[in-house]
Chains A and B, each alone.
Chain A
Amino acid sequence: QSVLTQPPSVSGAPGQRVTISCTGSSSNIGAGYDVHWYQQLPGTAPKLLIYGNSNRPSGVPDRFSGSKSGTSASLAITGLQAEDEADYYCQSYDSSLSGSSVVFGGGTKLTVL
């Protein structure tokens, strides 16, 4: 059971727009901690896709965008391409009575139809 909740899967046709949600709580996203997003292609290490809620590292296409509101965040991918098929993870920080920790969402598998 992940602290951050993502849909297990999403899908879309080439050229379409898809969004992936990341829902947290008042001890993580809602507490003001930044959300970061990663793309993991099969058999490879995750790659930083979005940092600080909505910023793209150099080299990441502007088809990828992030946003945050309240206790949730979203990753949007426009102009879907076959090479976008991958697993996507959100990440934030959680601080509660049980301790403080970096936390990840459970991951979302994107299928390009």
Chain B
Amino acid sequence: QLQLQESGSGLVKPSQTLSLTCAVSGGSISSGGYSWSWIRQPPGKGLEWIGYIYHSGSTYYNPSLKSRVTISVDRSKNQFSLKLSSVTAADTAVYYCAREAEGPIDYWGQGTLVTVSS
């Protein structure tokens, strides 16, 4: 059974960079046919796709966040990471890592709350 677990700082100061890591267990992050995603959900609001990285290493980002987002993969540790720069209070959200199976998102992490505050 595939499992994903987010980790990282739960509190980030405005203008700084948010950094999260997603550890994948029960399967290889290098398996073909999947992409590894970051999705966020502000408190009380809906889901917003941030971006994903394919098994090949290609990355695709939400156009509205593209200038601030970097997603990378560490195959040796079977994990992938998110960096979001120049954060503001509007970036406060629960951040989920997930696996996308050529369309549907079939596995999700439990989510981690990141608060942007001084």
- A residues sitting closer than 8 Å to B (CB atoms) are 2, 34, 36, 38, 44-48, 51-52, 57, 89, 91, 93, 98-107
Cα(A22)–Cα(B108), bound, Å: 22
Chain A nearest CB: distance from B19 CB in Å?
A: 20
CB pair A101–B46 under 8 Å, yes or no, is: no
Across the A-B interface, the 9 shortest Cβ-Cβ residue pairs? A99-B63, A51-B104, A102-B49, A45-B108, A36-B104, A107-B46, A104-B47, A106-B46, A34-B103
- B residues sitting closer than 8 Å to A (CB atoms) are 37, 46-49, 52, 60, 62-63, 66, 96, 100, 103-106, 108-111
Cα(A43)–Cα(B104), bound, Å: 21
Cα(A106)–Cα(B104), bound, Å: 17
Chain B nearest CB: distance from A41 CB in Å?
A: 12
CB pair B48–A104 under 8 Å, yes or no, is: yes
CB pair B106–A48 under 8 Å, yes or no, is: yes
Chain A nearest CB: distance from B116 CB in Å?
A: 21
What are 19 A-B pairs with beta-carbon distances under 8 A?
A: A2-B46, A34-B104, A36-B103, A38-B47, A45-B96, A45-B109, A48-B106, A51-B103, A52-B103, A52-B104, A89-B46, A89-B47, A91-B47, A93-B103, A100-B60, A100-B63, A101-B62, A102-B52, A104-B46
Task: Tell me whether chain A's interface is mostly helix, strand or loop, or mixed.
Answer: strand
Given A45-B110, A100-B60, A105 and B105 touching (CB < 8 A)? no
Q: What chain B residues lie within 8 Å of A52 (beta carbons)?
A: 103-104
Chain A nearest CB: distance from B60 CB in Å?
A: 7
Chain A nearest CB: distance from B98 CB in Å?
A: 8
Cα(A81)–Cα(B92), bound, Å: 33
Chain B nearest CB: distance from A83 CB in Å?
A: 19
CB pair A103–B66 under 8 Å, yes or no, is: no
